[in-house]
Structure 1
Amino acid sequence: MKLIVMSDSHSDLKTIKAIRSRETDADAFFHCGDSELAVNADILQGMEIVQGNCDWNAAFPESVVAEVGTKKILMVHGHQHGVKQSLMQLKYAAEQVNANIVLFGHSHLYGAELQDGVLYVNPGSTLLPRGGRVATYAVIEQEDSLKVTFRSPDTGEAVEKVIFTTN
């Protein structure tokens, strides 16, 4: 399984196109909101996407629950779940839908965490990173282990890798 996750691209078509053209072997593409694009934008076709706090009148769903292989994925933007303070509200939302993976954005800070068997991933921002970090998107791969690689939207080079051993 290979998932491509991006967020907070804020109208930047160039990096979304670069990511999509580079990651052609992905099983699914996800955008965690603040694309600031129209619902019918060609670049978003075939991509799961949610409403961010900057997606004015876009009419994207507030959350998406998707299944890829054996994984159930919950995706939200995060502004309605207090992600800048805690993952607790996301934990409750994940439990309600029995999600294995939770995707979210909003903070513009990349990171991955495994809690009680649930993987939480914020891909960062493809355009406006915060906290002195670089722009990123995430690649989630499941084989013998669960691997999250944060990559540069411009070059595809790995910025950071996180590997979780799973039972």
Structure 2
Amino acid sequence: MKILVMSDTHGDSHVIDKVREFYPEIDVLIHCGDSELSFSHEALEGIKKVRGNCDREKAFPEEEFFTVNNVNIFVTHGHLFNVKSSILSLSYRAKELGAQIVCFGHSHILGAEVIDDILFLNPGSLLKPRGRKEKSFAVVELNTTFFKVEFLTDDNQSIATHTFHRS
């Protein structure tokens, strides 16, 4: 099972389409907010999506929570949880929901770490990255024993890969 996670595309529907073309057989697509597109924009069709602080349309939910292959996934933009300061509030919400994977954006800084058996994943930004020059997204491979996270550039070049063993 593979999940493609992107965030903070800020009005660039072409980069969303481009990234989707790299993975036509992906199982789940996630956008962590600040698409700055309409909720019904064709570039966002079939994508689990949430509202970021720059998204004006109220049709976007603040949070998405769903289960894939017995893995509970929580998606939010992150601004309502002050993720630029700490992920503590986000961690509390993830635990309330029983999430095993948390996908969020807002900071434009890519990263992945496991805290209390929960994978926290920020795919970075496909428009305005911070902390590095590469625009980025992530592909997560789910397996019964591990989560493998690969960060890629907008040209589908690998930046880094991390494997986290599931308990």
Identity %: 41
Residue type at the aligned position of 1:87: I
1:36 paired residue number? 36
2:126 paired residue number? 126
Measured in 2, the distance between the counterparts of 1:68 and 1:132 equals: 31
Which TM-score applies when normalising by structure 2?
0.95
> Does the Cα contact within 8 Å between 2:34 and 2:53 map onto a contact in 1?
yes
- Tell me whether 1:89 sits opposite 2:70 in the alignment: no
Query: Alignment partner of 1:57: what SS?
Result: coil
With over 3 angstroms needed to count, the CA separation of the structure-2 counterparts of 1:41 and 1:162, relative to structure 1, is same
Structure 2 spans left out of the alignment, 5+ residues: none
Please show how residues 9-24 of structure 1 align to structure 2 within 5 Å. Answer: 9-24=9-24
Measured in 1, the distance between the counterparts of 2:119 and 2:133 equals: 21
Please show how residues 1-167 of structure 1 align to structure 2 within 5 Å. Answer: 1-143=1-143, 144-153=145-154, 155-167=155-167
Cα distance, 1:46 vs structure 2: 0.7
For each residue in 1:28-76, what CA deviation from the matched residue of structure 2 results, as whole angstroms up to 9, or x when unmatched?
Answer: 0000000000011011111000000001235200000011111110000
Residue type at the aligned position of 1:151: L
Structure 1 spans left out of the alignment, 5+ residues: none
Cα distance, 1:149 vs structure 2: 0.5
Residue type at the aligned position of 2:130: R
Cα distance, 1:96 vs structure 2: 1.1
Which TM-score applies when normalising by structure 1?
0.95
Residue type at the aligned position of 1:86: S
